């Protein structure tokens, strides 16, 4: 099983440490298993803490609390029995995983995690072209779109080829947060495309940005 989609490597390491050390993490008091006396007492026994069932219970708890529930995380299961156990443990939880978190299963080489990370190895990978060069939020021009792919995001609505929405990172993030009336978070979870109105997940937009940047970097180095 893999958890991926972290904003950066530092966040991933922090998450892994908290997952492996639920008794020490500063997020422990927000985890729901502290309300369960059986689980609380079981934490005193290291042997129980090493069980896969317990690890999955802690993982689900973490994915449902702040700040992790805001992150664009995804889970991929290689082993079918682990996915089945995950579903069983999830069914005992009071809440549900955030809707923007996706679960996939199958061999590792079919994982979206592998597909996105090896995009530059594709001989058919091309840089997406955009007919619009103005931010759909502030309406100002986006400078150097062909070279600075990490300065803007674009609608990834694959079902609507006519949507060519592009926007500055900060402009669209601010709009998404304002639309959600979220004045506490720095990074949005999702929002509607200003053009085609499709719901866009911020993590997917950032992944698309990274892919464009990698393809451009790979092309320029050849």
Q: What confidence tens digit (pLDDT) does each residue in 136-159 have?
A: 999 999 988 877 878 899 998 765
Backbone phi, psi, residue 74, to 5°: -135, 150
- pTM as predicted: 0.67
Mean pLDDT of the chain: 80
The pLDDT of 189-204, averaged and rounded, is: 89
**Does residue 62 contact residue 15 with C-beta atoms inside 8 Å?**
yes
Burial degree of 112 (CB within 10 A; 0-12, 13-18, 19+) = middle
The pLDDT of 71-91, averaged and rounded, is: 91
Q: Is 99 a residue whose pLDDT tops 90?
A: no
The pLDDT of 192-207, averaged and rounded, is: 89
Q: Is 81 a residue whose pLDDT tops 90?
A: yes
pLDDT at 48: 60
pLDDT at 194: 93
pLDDT at 125: 44
- How far out from the chain centre does Cα 211 lie? 14
pLDDT at 85: 93
**Does residue 42 contact residue 71 with C-beta atoms inside 8 Å?**
no
Q: Which two tokens stand for residue 6?
A: 């972290």
C-alpha closest to that of 182 among 94, 14, 69: 69
């Amino acid at each position: 099983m893999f958890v991926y989609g972290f904003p950066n490597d530092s966040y991933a390491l922090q998450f892994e440490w908290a997952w492996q050390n639920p008794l020490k993490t500063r997020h422990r008091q927000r985890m729901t298993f502290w309300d369960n006396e059986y689980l609380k007492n079981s934490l005193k026994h290291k042997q129980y803490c090493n069980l896969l069932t317990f690890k999955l219970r802690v993982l689900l708890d973490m994915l449902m609390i702040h700040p992790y529930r805001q992150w664009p995380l995804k889970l991929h299961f290689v082993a079918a029995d682990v996915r089945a156990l995950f579903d069983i443990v999830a069914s005992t939880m009071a809440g549900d995983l955030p809707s923007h978190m996706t679960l996939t299963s199958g061999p590792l080489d079919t994982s979206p995690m592998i597909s996105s990370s090896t995009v530059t190895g594709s001989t058919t990978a091309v840089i997406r072209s955009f007919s619009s060069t103005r931010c759909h939020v502030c309406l100002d021009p986006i400078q150097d779109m062909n070279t600075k792919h990490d300065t803007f995001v674009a609608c990834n609505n694959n079902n609507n080829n006519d949507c060519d929405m592009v926007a500055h990172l900060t402009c669209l993030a601010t709009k998404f947060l304002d639309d959600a009336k979220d004045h506490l978070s720095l990074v949005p979870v999702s929002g509607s495309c200003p053009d085609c109105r499709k719901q866009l997940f911020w993590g997917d937009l950032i992944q698309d940005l990274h892919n464009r940047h990698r393809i451009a970097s790979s092309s320029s180095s050849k």
